[in-house]
Amino acid sequence: MRKPILFPTAVPSPLPIAPHAESLTLEWNPGRYVLIHPDCMERMSRYATRPERELEAGGIFLGSYRGPHIEISAITEPMPGDRRGRYVFDRRDPGHQTAAKSAWTKSRNTTTFTGEWHTHPEDVPTPSGIDLGTWRGLMKKSKEPLVFIILGWSGNWYGIGHERRILPARPV
């Protein structure tokens, strides 16, 4: 299927993009898309493959709201103060929040926190009760939609939290 071209400008990435990495476009409501830059996909995917996949990992999304759409241009990755376990990832390191603040300032208030991602040690992941609780907490603090992704070993779970609901999103 042809991918719709929605975003006229790409935010330059500070890091080289792996040649095989592809961007991902999600649709969560008719005509509402999330574009995730290829280097973000590449970086997250590393944590869902061996040896990293043995422990859960996660981080936040940094991106911008473009009309009805969301463009994710950067992620944070596990930091030393986070708790990584076989069945837990606790984003405790204040560095994630610092990265969001820094991105906001550097972008002149356009790049902001747009959601979060983490991995699960299972083939096809689904959100846990803890995940849903955490996301609802984040949604209370955000008027804009938030993107939630869980990466598994052979598939990912995509959702958008908006107006107190968590809606599944599908790749297009």
Residues annotated as catalytic (active site), given as ranges: 56
Please state the closest distance from residue 109 (CB atom) to Zn ion, in A.
31
- If the CB atoms of residues 44 and 103 are measured against Zn ion, the closer one turns out to be 44
Among positions 137-166, residues that touch Zn ion (CB under 5 A) are none
> Minimal distance in Å, beta carbon 70 to Zn ion?
21
- Span of 13-21, 26-34, 101-109, 123-131 interacting with Zn ion by CB under 5 A: 123-131
- Our CB check for Zn ion shows the closer of 116 and 131 to be 131
Contact code string over 61-100 relative to Zn ion, x by CB under 5 A: ----------------------------------------
Stretch that binds Zn ion, among 1-9, 106-114, 126-134, 153-161 (CB under 5 A): 126-134
User: Which of 2, 9, 28 is closest to 161 using CA atoms?
Assistant: 28
Which of 37, 62, 131, 156 is close enough to bind Zn ion by CB under 5 A? Answer: 131
The stretch among 7-15, 74-82, 97-105, 127-135 that binds Zn ion (CB under 5 A) is: 127-135
Question: What is the β-pairing status of strands 112-119 and 146-151?
Answer: parallel
16 SS3 class: coil
CB of 120 to Zn ion, least distance (A): 5
Q: Own/partner pairs for 75-81, CB < 8 Å, 24+ apart?
A: 75/40, 75/43, 75/44, 75/117, 76/100, 77/43, 77/47, 78/47
Cβ contacts of residue 23 below 8 Å, gap of 6+?
Answer: 35, 36, 37, 38, 41
Spell out the residues 6+ positions from residue 148 whose beta carbon is closer than 8 angstroms to its own: 115, 116, 117, 127, 131, 135, 158, 159, 160, 161, 166
Q: Which residues bind Zn ion (CB under 5 A)?
A: 128, 131
